[in-house]
């Protein structure tokens, strides 16, 4: 089954195809939001502290769905941001300049596709420094999420396409 980042890449590829058929409205919306994004290639916001890894993942997923680029990108480690942007570029042939753009496009595509925001999260393991979650989305996709505890928050370090089984 596909993970959230694989689903994002798939949806973004589909969104690019749909954008060509729907006129200029979606690019204008993206352009309107672009000035609020940082010019850096990677978002560097501090992750929002959460009570634990499950709450951190829920906060990230809510941020993605609501296009809260600061919170969504801030919850991802820089290597994961880079990997997600590279996967998008490989799947679509289009470079994404920064994490904020990826999150905005993902949010718009989730909404356009009518994908439900519901997730089921199971804590598989947790130590003082890392955690592993099993996540199942309302559409049936699932995956493993790895998080790392920093001094102030839990950060997502990996989103896999493999379901616990």
Q: What pLDDT was estimated at residue 5?
A: 52
CA distance linking residue 150 with residue 132, whole number of Å: 15
| pLDDT(83) > 60 | yes
Task: Among 2-11, 18-27, 134-143, name the one with the lowest average pLDDT.
Answer: 18-27
Q: In whole angstroms, how far apart are CA 6 and each of 11, 51, 103, 111, 139?
A: 9, 27, 13, 17, 14
Range of the domain at 111: 4-116
- Residue 58 located in a structural domain: yes
CA distance linking residue 110 with residue 104, whole number of Å: 10
CA distance linking residue 90 with residue 25, whole number of Å: 25
For the segment 45-60, the average pLDDT, to the nearest whole number, is: 77
- Residue 132 located in a structural domain: no
Q: What pLDDT was estimated at residue 44?
A: 47
Q: What pairs with residue 148 in β-bridges?
A: 130, 155
Task: Among 19-28, 48-57, 104-113, name the one with the lowest average pLDDT.
Answer: 19-28
Percent above pLDDT 90 for the chain: 48
The answer to whether the beta carbons of residues 137 and 2 sit under 8 Å apart is no
- Residue 145 located in a structural domain: no
- Residue 151 located in a structural domain: no
Triad 45, 73, 141: Cα angle to 5°: 155
- Residue 52 located in a structural domain: yes
Q: Is 40 helix (H, G, I), strand (E, B) or coil?
A: coil
Q: What pLDDT was estimated at residue 165?
A: 59
Going by C-alpha positions, the residue among 22, 37, 46, 41 that lies closest to residue 69 is 37
Total count of domains within the chain: 1
- Residue 97 located in a structural domain: yes
| pLDDT(69) > 70 | yes
CA distance linking residue 57 with residue 159, whole number of Å: 11
- Residue 154 located in a structural domain: no
- Residue 28 located in a structural domain: yes
Structural tokens at position 152: 């102030």
For the segment 97-123, the average pLDDT, to the nearest whole number, is: 92
């Amino acid at each position: 089954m596909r993970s959230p980042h694989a689903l994002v890449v798939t949806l973004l590829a589909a969104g690019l195809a749909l954008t060509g058929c729907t006129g200029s409205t979606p690019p204008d919306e993206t352009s309107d939001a672009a000035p609020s994004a940082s010019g850096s290639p990677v978002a560097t916001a501090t992750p929002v502290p959460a009570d634990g890894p499950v709450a951190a993942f829920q906060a990230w997923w809510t941020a993605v769905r609501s296009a809260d680029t600061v919170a969504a990108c801030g919850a991802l480690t820089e290597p994961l941001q880079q990997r997600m942007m590279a996967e998008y570029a490989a799947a679509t042939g289009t470079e994404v300049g920064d994490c904020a753009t990826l999150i905005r496009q993902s949010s718009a595509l989730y909404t356009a596709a009518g994908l439900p925001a519901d997730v089921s999260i199971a804590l598989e393991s947790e130590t003082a420094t890392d955690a592993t979650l099993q996540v199942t989305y309302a559409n049936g996709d699932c995956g493993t999420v790895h998080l790392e505890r920093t001094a102030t928050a839990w950060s997502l370090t990996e989103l896999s396409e493999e379901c616990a089984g």
